């Protein structure tokens, strides 16, 4: 792709300013923010956000650099970042607005990934998995971490990790490619799984450039994940992908084939795209599809049951920006059949008002959306 140098410089500056501005701010619990005219509603431009009829958006919590989300059975929300801190968010009265935001870890290296299992918080840095035992008993004075695993690559490029426990009770960890396009070794461009104590590590799936979100189909227990396509092939290719891996050992094409039908000009010679697992759905070129969750709640209309919400962080080097929204993928008979905007408006002309990173269904069926540009977690609800 022929990049406009001024456009490239603008987006690079935006990313750097966003990282610096969010890195060290202290969180505060918000006041209610569900109505137009409210200070937080106005502060975060929520009047610009477009939702289907009957839905509304509010501020759940202000969390600096908010990225990956995970929810404990007790309802504590844990939030990872690309800075150095991890946060815990508590809504004691269950009114849809956080009462307290705690810093439960600091001094870490890009603790983007968070997962919760058996009372413990698991945190993924670039090269390590950490565990904070019995974390909810001491949010104000959190325990020291234990190192679960510390042998992941130290590459900064695509090194931030989303993590989650699967139906098999194993911890799944993506390891991105250390480049835009290159021949990866066996510990890059893959999704790895391990036992919760760090033992039994194995490669589950390969040929995955940069996945920062996945979930399991509640009906089939198959893994579904997003993957960000390579750059420098033009504005309109390749698409970011929604993929599914119902079993171990599948290869999804990177670096040889993109979006299931585009041979790579550098690494595709002598390859055939039909030799690799095809995407389940194409999500759009350079939308930066990140966190995703199947919706299993009862709050939203029935048409949303079993579908997938996907946070699109937004393009950074496309001539015409795209993404900056939460998309909804409709499922029928176990297959993705359509994708439509669900929450949009964070790209307002040339103004970037926010960048969705992850989604998390709450126990009441509402949907949380993290935004690392604004340092906030939104709550989307339905009805009164």
CATH class of 5-382: mainly beta
β-strands 239-245, 250-251 pairing: unpaired
SS3 of 241-290: the string is: EEEEECCCCEECCCCCEECCCEECCCCCCCCCHHHCCCCCEEEEECCCEE
Angle of CA points 318, 380, 222, to nearest 5° = 70
How far apart CA 281 and CA 266 sit, in angstroms, is 24
pLDDT at 30: 54
Classified as helix, coil or strand, 40 is: helix
Which stretches of the chain score pLDDT less than 70? 1-38
Residue 134, pLDDT score: 98
Q: Are 69 and 370 in contact (CB under 8 A)?
A: yes
Contacts of 164 (CB under 8 A, 6+ apart): 70, 115, 171, 172, 214, 215
**Are the C-beta atoms of residues 203 and 185 closer than 8 Å to each other?**
no
pLDDT at 6: 39
Tell me: cis bond preceding 244? Omega within 30 of 0 counts. Answer: no
d(CA 70, CA 129): 15
**So where are the chain's domains?**
5-382
Task: List residues bridging with 338 in a β-sheet.
Answer: 330
Q: How confident is the model at residue 310, as a pLDDT?
A: 99
């Amino acid at each position: 792709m022929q990049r406009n140098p001024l456009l490239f410089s603008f987006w690079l500056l935006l990313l750097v300013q966003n990282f610096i501005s969010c890195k060290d701010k202290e969180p505060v619990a918000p006041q209610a923010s569900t109505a137009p005219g409210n200070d937080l509603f106005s502060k975060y431009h929520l009047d610009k956000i477009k939702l289907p009829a009957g839905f509304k958006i509010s501020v759940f919590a202000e969390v600096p650099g908010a990225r990956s989300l995970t929810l404990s059975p007790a309802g504590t929300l844990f939030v990872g970042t690309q800075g150095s801190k991890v946060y815990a968010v508590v809504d004691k009265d269950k009114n849809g607005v956080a009462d307290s935001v705690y810093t439960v870890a600091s001094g870490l290296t890009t603790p983007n990934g968070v997962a919760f299992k058996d009372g413990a918080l698991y945190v993924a840095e670039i090269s390590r998995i950490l565990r904070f035992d019995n974390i909810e008993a001491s949010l104000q004075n959190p325990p020291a971490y234990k190192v679960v695993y510390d042998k992941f690559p130290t590459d900064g490029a695509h090194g931030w990790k989303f993590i989650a426990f699967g139906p098999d009770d194993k911890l799944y960890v993506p390891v991105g490619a250390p480049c835009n396009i290159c021949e990866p070794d066996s510990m890059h461009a893959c999704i790895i799984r391990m036992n919760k104590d760090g033992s039994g590590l194995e490669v589950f799936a390969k040929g995955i450039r940069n996945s920062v979100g996945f979930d399991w189909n509640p009906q089939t227990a198959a893994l579904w994940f997003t993957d960000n396509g390579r750059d420098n092939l033009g504005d309109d290719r390749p698409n970011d992908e929604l993929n599914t891996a119902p079993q171990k050992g599948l290869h999804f094409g990177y670096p040889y084939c993109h979006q299931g039908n585009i041979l790579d000009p550098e690494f595709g010679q002598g390859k055939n795209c039909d030799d690799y697992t095809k995407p389940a759905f194409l999500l759009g070129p350079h939308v930066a599809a990140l966190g995703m969750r199947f919706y299993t709640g009862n709050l939203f209309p029935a048409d949303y049951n079993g579908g997938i919400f996907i946070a699109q962080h937004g393009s950074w080097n496309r001539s015409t920006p795209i993404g900056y929204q939460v998309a909804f993928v409709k499922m029928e008979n176990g297959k993705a059949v359509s994708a439509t905007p669900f929450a949009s408006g964070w790209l307002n002309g040339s103004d970037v008002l926010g960048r969705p990173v992850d989604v998390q269904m709450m126990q009441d069926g509402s949907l949380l959306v993290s935004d690392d540009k604004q340092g906030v977690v939104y709550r989307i609800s339905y009805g009164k």
